[in-house]
Homo-oligomer: A and B are copies of this chain.
């Protein structure tokens, strides 16, 4: 039977990056099935040199598909995860709909890919800020036990979708030369020349849901359900690439040199940490690239067992599409080995 990979939400930013990565990584499949809402269907996208039509998702859409990569919002993911699994597909869902369900694995393959040995047919892909921080912290596990975590993010506008990038572009144009760009059509503050401490909706505890996602997901993926974590999530006028200032406190001192060595040896991480030569993580250098780039490692000044560092990750790649495709690759490897 030919191996077909479906992408639901194929015309969105994450969906298009999923498609590009299946080709770029030579994912072992015989074809793709591109699915989108009826309003986005009808276009074509290129895969391995051929034009592939985007079809409207509907009954029977997942028939014959071995994997279904979901790059859609929660309600759409909830609507189609059942039919896709019933059709025999393994669903890898980039929405947050299933991330906090106990028996759904939430996976960063380099960190907890062992969960895929159980052959789950629904796997949740983590939040775009959670995946990179978890990767950076997992690399440090041999150096000490993580006791507390604080993350302040600098998140790019592409994390808010294609339309938000258009809003950024329009705002930059309106603010060109020093003018204040206007609020967006829905009343939200403009992205251009601004820092917005509001991503996703607010929870009752005063944190945004984006902030709580990082709390919940780092705990679940690292297997530390009681880890004290606190987060501030801020949108900045960057197109692609989520950055974060991270403070991690361990049960013993973790030296910056040891941390850099551990990161350099860990899959999916690149170290850029030579400030004297202007080498540190920068969104403009990371956009369009796979690794989580880590640098600015230094001893936390507050507590000697603390390590401070800064990372940047392409939010459309390790924060979304890349991790989803890596999960599919890890599923295939798990099936071979079992």
Which of A154, A230, A231, A281 has most B Cβ within 10 Å?
A230
A283 engages B193 (CB within 8 Å): yes
- Tell me which of B154, B197, B229, B298 contacts A236 (CB under 8 A): B154
A185-217 near B? 1/0 per residue, CB < 8 Å: 001111001111110001001111000000100
A180 CA / B196 CA spacing, docked (Å): 23
- Is A278 within 8 A of B195, CB to CB? no
Give A123-176 interface residues, CB cut-off 8 Å to B.
Answer: 148-150, 152, 154, 169, 172-173, 176
| B245/A284 in contact, CB under 8 A | no
Asked, given contacts A180-B284, A228-B303, A281-B197, whether A245 binds B238 with beta carbons under 8 Å apart, the answer is no
A26 within 8 A of B: no
Interface: A63 (CB within 8 A): no
Stretch at the interface among A15-23, A110-118, A305-313, A322-330: A305-313
Q: Are B310 and A197 in contact (CB under 8 A)?
A: yes
Q: List the number of copies, as a whole number.
A: 2
> Chain B residue with minimal CB distance to A152?
B152
The residue of chain B having its C-beta at the shortest distance from the C-beta of A180 within the complex is B284
- Among A172, A197, A208, A310, residue most surrounded by chain B Cβ atoms (within 10 Å): A197
A61 to chain B: which residues have CB within 8 Å? none
Chain B nearest CB, measured from A246 CB (Å):
9
The answer to whether B195 touches A256, judged by C-beta atoms less than 8 angstroms apart, is: no
Complex CA gap A296/B169 in Å reads: 27
Provide the residues of chain B in CB contact with A194, threshold 8 Å.
238, 282-284
Task: Select the residue from A187, A195, A229 with max chain B CB neighbours within 10 A.
Answer: A195
Interface string of A220-239 (1 = CB under 8 A from B): 00000000111110101111
* Minimum CB–CB distance for A193 against chain B, Å: 5
* A1 lies within 8 A of chain B by Cβ: no
| Residue pair A302, B236 in contact (C-beta under 8 Å) | no
How big is the A interface, by class? 35 or more
With A193-B238, A296-B232 as contacts: A301 and B202 at CB distance below 8 Å: no
Would A150 and B247 count as touching, CB distance under 8 A? Answer: yes
> Counting CB contacts under 8 A, is A101 at the interface?
no
Contacting B at CB under 8 A, from A255-305, are: 256, 275-276, 278, 280-285, 287, 295-303
Seen from chain A, the residues whose Cβ lies within 8 Å of a Cβ on chain B are 148-150, 152, 154, 169, 172-173, 176-178, 180-181, 187-190, 193-198, 202, 205-208, 215, 228-232, 234, 236-239, 241, 243, 245, 247, 256, 275-276, 278, 280-285, 287, 295-303, 306, 308, 310, 312
Q: Provide a sorted-by-A list of 28 A–B residue pairs whose CB atoms are within 8 angstroms.
A: A154-B154, A154-B234, A169-B176, A173-B176, A180-B284, A189-B282, A193-B238, A194-B238, A194-B282, A194-B284, A195-B236, A195-B238, A196-B282, A197-B245, A205-B299, A206-B256, A206-B275, A207-B301, A229-B301, A229-B302, A230-B301, A230-B308, A231-B301, A234-B243, A234-B310, A236-B236, A237-B237, A237-B238
